[in-house]
Amino acid sequence: MPEVLRWNGLRTKLGARDAGRVEAPHYRTEIHPSGIRNAEAIARYARTLADTVESIVLREELAVVLGGDCSILLGNLLGARRHVEQLGLVFLDGHSDFGTPERSATHGAAGMDLALAVGAGPALLSGLASDGPLVDRESVIHLGLRDEDPELRASGIATIDLEEIERAGPVAIAARVLERLERHPGFWIHVDADVLHDDIMPAVDSRVPGGLSYEALVTLVRPLLASPRALGIELTIYDPDRDPEGSVGRAFTAALVEALRP
């Protein structure tokens, strides 16, 4: 994903500084005793990624992190929160990502990242910060859900699903998000490509009918990034192997340029 977005000109069209690459460890298929694949490697990677994100935040630059799968959330939050007393999280995703090893069919951290971020799940990944969860449940807003999860609904995390976004409109939703996070000195933004409509973003690993249009995504994200309290944004899950002609990647890159351009 990072290579394709760069090839399509994401960095150059934004005039962004290249902060380098944090190389991911080799993916292994066996299940760790915690019930999560690659748990130890993900924990090590999260700490390395956190150092890079922290350095960008300290420069007062906006961090744009190109994934990868959703488990990069852990390292990004770990780095962003080191100098923010109460970190907020805007989580745009078609899925809840609130799984546990007991409920997961894949045992992949990418389906558990939000749960781990709020301190639920095996301590190896849910306890990366020594002083509590990476983010408090009351400081999270989940946007775009269309794969219903009762566990997320019962978690205390604010959830604005796809139906509500379509009803109220992305402009109103963005304003609502900023109002809810107004007491947070900083917040992080997670964007999973599968929050987009399946017709325009089929190159993901867990397809669900429906989703946001590119226009709606841009309209949602631009006001959030315009806030001086936005510390960074991560982009995840677009899979170039499922886009052999590259047309999906080009359209995705164009939308991201529009959303991220100052």
**What secondary structure does DSSP assign to the chain, as a single string?**
-HHHHHHTTHHHHHT-------PPPPP--SBPTTSSBTHHHHHHHHHHHHHHHHHHHHTTPPEEEE-SSTTHHHHHHHHHGGG-SSEEEEEE-SS-----TTT-SS--GGGTHHHHHTT-S-HHHHT-STTS-SS-GGGEEEE---S--HHHHTTT-EEE-HHHHHHH-HHHHHHHHHHHTTT-SEEEEEEEGGGB-TTT---SSS--S--B-HHHHHHHHHHHHHSTTEEEEEEE---GGG-TTSHHHHHHHHHHHHHH--
Provide the pLDDT for residue 103. Answer: 87
pLDDT of 187 strictly over 90: yes
pLDDT digits (tens, 9 = 90+) for 40-81: 999 999 999 999 999 999 999 999 999 999 999 999 999 999
- % of the chain surpassing 70 pLDDT: 100
Q: How many domains does the chain have?
A: 1
pLDDT of 262 strictly over 90: no
Structural domain harbouring 105: 2-260
pLDDT digits (tens, 9 = 90+) for 221-257: 999 999 999 999 999 999 999 999 999 999 999 999 9
Q: Return the CATH number at 30.
A: 3.40.800.10
pLDDT of 104 strictly over 90: no
Provide the pLDDT for residue 29. Answer: 85
User: What is the pLDDT averaged over residues 113-137?
Assistant: 96
Would you say the pTM of this structure is higher than 0.85? yes
User: What is the pLDDT averaged over residues 193-206?
Assistant: 97
